[in-house]
Amino acid sequence: MSVSEFPGSGNARGVALSPPCDDLALWRWPLDRDGHEWPALWSMLSAPERERAGRFGTEALRQRYVAGRAALRETLARRLGIAPAAVPIVRGTRGRPMLADDASPDFNVSHTRGVAVIALLDRAGHRVGIDIEGEDRSLAHDSLARKFLTADERDAIAPLDDDARRRAFLRLWTCKEAMSKATGDGLSAPFARIGIDTARGLVPVAGPDVYAPGLWSLHAVAAGAGYCATVAVWRWA
Ligand SMILES: CC(C)(COP(=O)(O)OP(=O)(O)OC[C@H]1O[C@@H](n2cnc3c(N)ncnc32)[C@H](O)[C@@H]1OP(=O)(O)O)[C@@H](O)C(=O)NCCC(=O)NCCS
């Protein structure tokens, strides 16, 4: 459910989503922006971001990247009370974007189909990860389940019909990818050893090292009709 609008540049508006826990703010931004907005969006980006934008193979991918980074900068700028171009975003572990000097808030971003969701977390010793997928995304869910789910997770979804199994896989995937984005591990996270009990909510029940269940809380994000999104909060210190 949207609770307020963000007065971003141009026509696009960031929409605040209901935060599922304390200290967390969630925003959804459109990535398909009007042509006249490009100079303003481009002017917010850092030199490395502009270079990266230049390396995308298609104009559509480039524009979405620029719109996503501008949305992130506008969101952080408002929180920090500085100009979007002045937000000091650096690359942390495996390229995880963070504020310089580990400053607050911690943040993370996920994109799908013309939409970005942004999570900001203001809690000392904690980091946040977020993942969004189109709810109707078609995928080889049974073979992905063999690769990325625990035996208990596979057993739990086995009785479901094909489409319900696909949806259940997507939810579990967004949980695990959000966790991998909080740590910065990304696709090198030990997905098949991270266990989530979806029958009791989104309860972490297994995971090695930094993925130990007691360090995590997971929350479904109401990102709008047609989306499956999860935010993960990690206690790392
Ligand atoms: C992070 C990752 C899982 C993203 O997956 P995705 O589903 O394609 O994309 P999403 O839209 O959900 O997330 C992308 C955003 O996550 C953020 N991100 C990038 N790397 C990240 C990382 N390691 N941890 C957390 N967030 C990361 C960025 O904001 C990125 O958006 P941007 O490209 O506009 O900057 C994937 O890119 C990845 O694994 N990256 C790490 C690569 C890696 O492990 N390299 C090892 C060599 S050291």
CATH class of 131-235: alpha beta
In this predicted structure, what is the pLDDT of residue 93?
83
Each of the 237 residues of the chain gets a pLDDT tens digit; together they read 333 455 555 555 799 999 999 999 999 999 999 889 999 999 999 999 999 999 999 999 999 999 999 999 999 999 999 999 999 999 988 999 999 999 999 999 999 989 999 999 999 999 999 999 999 999 999 999 999 999 999 999 999 999 999 999 999 999 999 999 999 999 999 999 999 999 999 999 999 999 999 999 999 999 999 999 999 999 998
In this predicted structure, what is the pLDDT of residue 10?
52
Mutate to test the pocket of ligand 1, among 96, 128, 233 (most ligand atoms within 8 A of CB): 96
> Residue 87 in contact with residue 52, Cβ under 8 Å?
no
Distance (angstroms) between ligand 1 centre and the Cα of 188 equals 11
Residue nearest to atom 39 of ligand 1 (CA): 186
Between the alpha carbon of residue 162 and those of residues 1, 27, 138, 159, 234, the distances in Å are 29, 32, 11, 9, 32
Same fold, 2-125 and 131-235: yes
Between the alpha carbon of residue 120 and those of residues 65, 77, 137, 177, 232, the distances in Å are 19, 12, 26, 17, 11
The amino acid at residue 113 is: R
Residues near ligand 1 (Cβ within 6 A): 65, 68-69, 94-97, 108-111, 131, 177, 180-181, 184, 186-188
Spatial separation of the C-alpha atoms in residues 200 and 174, rounded to whole Å: 17
E strands, the chain, in order: 2-6, 14-17, 24-30, 89-91, 97-99, 106-112, 115-121, 126-134, 195-197, 203-206, 216-221, 227-235
Number of C-beta neighbours around residue 177 at 10 A: 23
What residue spans define the domains of the chain?
2-125, 131-235
Q: Do the bridges between strand 24-30 and strand 227-235 make them parallel or antiparallel, or are there none, so unpaired?
A: unpaired
Domain 2-125: which topology?
A: Ribosomal Protein L22; Chain A (3.90.470)
- DSSP reduced 3-state for 146: helix
Number of H helices, E strands in the chain: 6, 12
In this predicted structure, what is the pLDDT of residue 1?
30
In this predicted structure, what is the pLDDT of residue 5?
53
pTM over 0.85: yes
Distance (angstroms) between ligand 1 centre and the Cα of 71 equals 16
Spatial separation of the C-alpha atoms in residues 97 and 64, rounded to whole Å: 17
> Residue 149 in contact with residue 139, Cβ under 8 Å?
no
